[in-house]
Amino acid sequence: MTIREKVEAVRNVQNYQVEIEERLKQIIHDTCEDYISGIDNIVIEDNSITVFYHWSCRGETSHDTTVIPIEWLDDGFDYKSAYQEKVRLEQEKAKKEAEAEKKREEKRKAEKEYKQYLELKKKYEGSAE
């Protein structure tokens, strides 16, 4: 394929890219970023699309990234509910991790206290003789 043929092929898909980016922009606006200004780049993977976008709010501008499952772009797909479920699952996971960390910290504290107890016991039992 020559460069000219490649240019023509790219030209033929540019309209698709604009439509996809508009759909992604709407999905991002409706789910995770109210102040999205535009899309910088997209990377299409097997089951998802990584979207690099910029946002602007009250004079502050920044860039961010999100990953959107490809199925969210399907016509009629309820991506808002899917996003809420995703957030719920992430919160549950974070809560479980926090509880596990709390248990690990309590165990470390108990072990430290027991070690200190044994040291004090040894110290004072040894001096009683």
Indicate the pLDDT class of residue 12, thresholds 50, 70 and 90: confident
| Domain map (residue ranges) of the chain | 1-74, 78-129
Per-residue pLDDT, 2: 93
Work out the widest C-alpha separation in the chain, in whole angstroms.
97
- Residue 39 DSSP label: E
Burial of 64 (0-12, 13-18, 19+ CB in 10 A): middle
Nearest to 39 by CA among 60, 57, 24: 24
Percent of the chain whose predicted confidence (pLDDT) is above 70 = 97
3-state SS class at 77:
coil
**What integer is the mean pLDDT of 65-84?**
94
